[in-house]
Amino acid sequence: MSVLKTDPVLSTRLPRPHLGHIPGPRKFPFIGKTISFALDPYGTYSDQVARFGDVFRMSVFGETWVVLAGPDALEHVYLNRDNIFSAQHGLKAFAPLFSGGLLHRDDLDHRAHRRVMQAAFRAPVLENYLHLMNGEIARLLDEWPTGEKMKFAPAIKELTLRLGAKVFMGLEDPAEVARINAAFVQEVAATSALIRKPLPFTKMGRGVAARKSLSDDFRRLIARRKATGGNDFFSQLCIAQNEDGQTWSDNDIIDHFNFLLIAAHDAVTGALTAMIWALAQDDHLQESVRAEIAHLPVGPLSYGDLEKLDLTNRVYREALRRFTPSAFTARAVMADAQWQGHHLPRGTKVVICPGPVMMTPEIFPHPDRFDPDRYTPDRAEDRVHKFAWSPFGGGAHKCIGLHFSTIQVKAFIVEFLRRFKLGMEGSDRPNWRHIPTPIPTNGLPVTLWRRQAAQQTP
């Protein structure tokens, strides 16, 4: 067994190209479209497409980006057939927080690390994760209040953080769990920092400090797991190896787990919040999903029964379309290129937009409507284009944990709807903030009733 040799972080300094030939709004120093984009990213995108077409220039967070709109752009950049788009350089703004993670690697280095990580996502391992999740989700849900309003968004955030500590990391010590969760929250908050340098008393400064705190905790945990082993996700990363028997260094394990923890948490909490938002407003849909679950065997959800949850899966897919966790993503152009008649010089930072694509009425009619039947075979709106529906990205960087996230979502929904009926008052229907990840601004107040009591409620 040998440790995988990691290519050093690319030190290439890309030029800052002149982009005046790309259509776009008048550029205001530093601010540009930052405020409008932060307040209404989808509306800003639609306005710029209407004014300038599917290729336009826009300044956000002090950087000038070239936005490539539409599903064809997603296919072109994600598949990267000419090997000219770099995720590592495109996402440099997040390097202080997530450098070394799988999404922040390119080419052969990315492939080598992905091959090792695949060992942690094999079917037998996923089945074990589901077994661990079922018991912990049930225990945590038994603590939730009934018969009174609760804010679902912060509640599911806390539940998934606690679930992550148990299932992902095998942690039992409450103080250790609380410390890691607090650092995690600070790190996530830094992703939306306006000031991108880790200066003292800034979001980014606190985020980078949190990253160091997490790294120190992970390093101590690696030593424990290598000595004692474990069935949790973190332990699997510690022992993961490719077909040549190569494993990761401790630094690689820390980098990968740090990013995976963020990615998995955002995808799952966002999807579950959107699903509960939809189910709370539509009693028929809620009862239909519950009826599907009722056909499962009694007891915890089994790995073999995951595929029986067709409607649940369509609700999940629609939640990811309507409120995708990664509506915009970035790449850097490593060699002069052309797209739709526009010259993209080396060093150009481009943005592609899976979120707005999934809200395009020509692809998904009445996109604001929550409609799980979009994915039935007779409609198949998600198959109009190869990248019509792509909340998990695509190509070499497609999310390696998508099946893991799906399992976690289904495990929660099964335990939740077996226990509770839920409702939401019309006055509590929320507005949503879309970046850095979708979140209902009012926390999504809902009321839960235990199933037996729910039969008696009006």
Least confident of 1-15, 29-43, 53-67, 172-186: 1-15
Question: pTM for the whole thing?
Answer: 0.92
pLDDT tens, residue by residue, 265-311 = 888 999 999 999 999 999 999 999 999 999 999 999 999 999 999 99
Contact status, residue 408 vs residue 271, Cβ threshold 8 Å: no
- The mean pLDDT of 119-127, rounded to a whole number, is 87
pLDDT at 236: 81
pLDDT at 3: 57
Our measurement of the distance from residue 259's CA atom to the centroid of its chain's CA atoms, rounded to an integer in Å, reads: 10
pLDDT tens, residue by residue, 307-335 = 999 999 999 999 999 999 889 999 999 99
- Higher-pLDDT residue of 389, 454: 389
Least confident of 6-20, 192-206, 216-230, 324-338: 6-20
453 pLDDT higher than 60: no
How are beta strands 349-352 and 63-68 bridged, if at all?
Answer: parallel
- Higher-pLDDT residue of 266, 2: 266
418 pLDDT higher than 70: yes
pLDDT at 11: 56
pLDDT at 456: 35
Contact status, residue 317 vs residue 290, Cβ threshold 8 Å: no
Can you list the domains of the chain with their CATH numbers? 2-144+151-419 (1.10.630.10)
Return the residue matching tokens 């009733």.
449
166 pLDDT higher than 90: no
pLDDT tens, residue by residue, 359-413 = 999 999 999 999 999 999 999 999 999 999 999 999 999 998 899 999 999 999 9
1 pLDDT higher than 50: no
| C-alpha distance from residue 231 to each of 126, 133, 172, 224 (Å) | 11, 12, 14, 13
- The mean pLDDT of 419-435, rounded to a whole number, is 93
| C-alpha distance from residue 157 to each of 183, 204, 276, 449 (Å) | 14, 21, 13, 20
Judged on CB neighbours under 10 Å (0-12, 13-18, 19+), 222 is: buried
454 pLDDT higher than 90: no
- The mean pLDDT of 333-354, rounded to a whole number, is 97
Average pLDDT of the chain? 90
pLDDT at 70: 97
344 pLDDT higher than 50: yes
pLDDT at 455: 39
| R_g of the chain, CA atoms, integer Å | 22
